[in-house]
Each structure stands twice: as structure tokens, then as C-alpha cells.
Amino acid sequence: MKITANGLVFEEGDSLCKCILSNTQGELFAFVQCLDTGMDGKESVMVKRYWGRYSHDDRAGSIEDIMRNGGKWPVLPD
């Protein structure tokens, strides 16, 4: 599965792309790590992280919504 939105790419087979699920307070959330290829797709690739609500019934749609409108997920200290 490959999802693109706003110059971001999430591709299941790419080791840099991740989708981590967390269920808390009765809701399911996903933390998505994707690649920023720039608006023209030619800039250097950077890892970006976003999080938001997730649904198993619409996996691709949930990930795309998170990439478009999710909250930023910072790099956490080791």
C-alpha cells in the first residue's frame, strides 16, 4: 500500500515508514512515520511524523487523514 498526501509518502514496504497503533481511553490512535519528498517530489527526502485517530475499517483513509491533518509527533529522546 502506497499513500501520498501533501508531498508526503507512506509506503508499507519502506523500512523508514511506520504505523504504530495505540488504544487509549476507548479510542484508537496511530503514530505514522512517513517521508517528505517536497511538493515537486524532487527535494531531498526527510522523515516526518504525525499522529491522529485511526480506524481498522479504513486503514488507508486513516493514514492519509493523519498525513494531511494529524498532530506532529516529535523525535523523542533516547
State pLDDT tens for residues 45-54: 899 999 999 9
pLDDT at 73: 85
Q: Is 66 left (phi over 0), alpha (psi -120 to 50) or beta?
A: alpha
pLDDT recorded at residue 34: 95
pLDDT tens digits for 18-41? 999 999 999 999 999 999 987 665
Domain membership flag for residue 78: no
Q: How many residues does the chain have?
A: 78
Calculate what percentage of the chain has a pLDDT beyond 90.
77
Specify whether the CB–CB gap between 22 and 32 falls below 8 A: no
C-alpha cell, 2? 502506497
Is 43 contained in some domain?
A: yes
- Residue 78 — pLDDT band, cuts 50, 70, 90? low
* Domains held by the chain: number: 1
What are the residue ranges of helices labelled H in the chain?
59-69
Residue 7 structural domain: 2-72
Residue 15 within any structural domain of the chain: yes
Residue 77 covered by a domain? no
| 2: pLDDT strictly greater than 70 | yes
